[in-house]
Structure 1
Amino acid sequence: MASVLRTAPSTTVSYHVFGPSDPEGFAAMAVVETLVHTHDIAQGLNRQWSPPRELCERVLRRLFPHVTVCGDAWDNLLWATGRTALPDRPRLTEWRWYGTRRE
Structure 2
Amino acid sequence: MILLRRELGDVLREQRQEQGRTLREVSAAAKVSLGYLSEIERGEKEASSELLASVCVALGLRLSQALLLVSERVALAEELAVPVRLPVAAARPVVSAA
- Please identify which structure carries the higher helix content: 2
Normalised to the residue count of structure 1, the TM-score between the two structures is 0.30
Normalised to the residue count of structure 2, the TM-score between the two structures is 0.31
Higher relative contact order (CA 8 A, sep 6+): 2
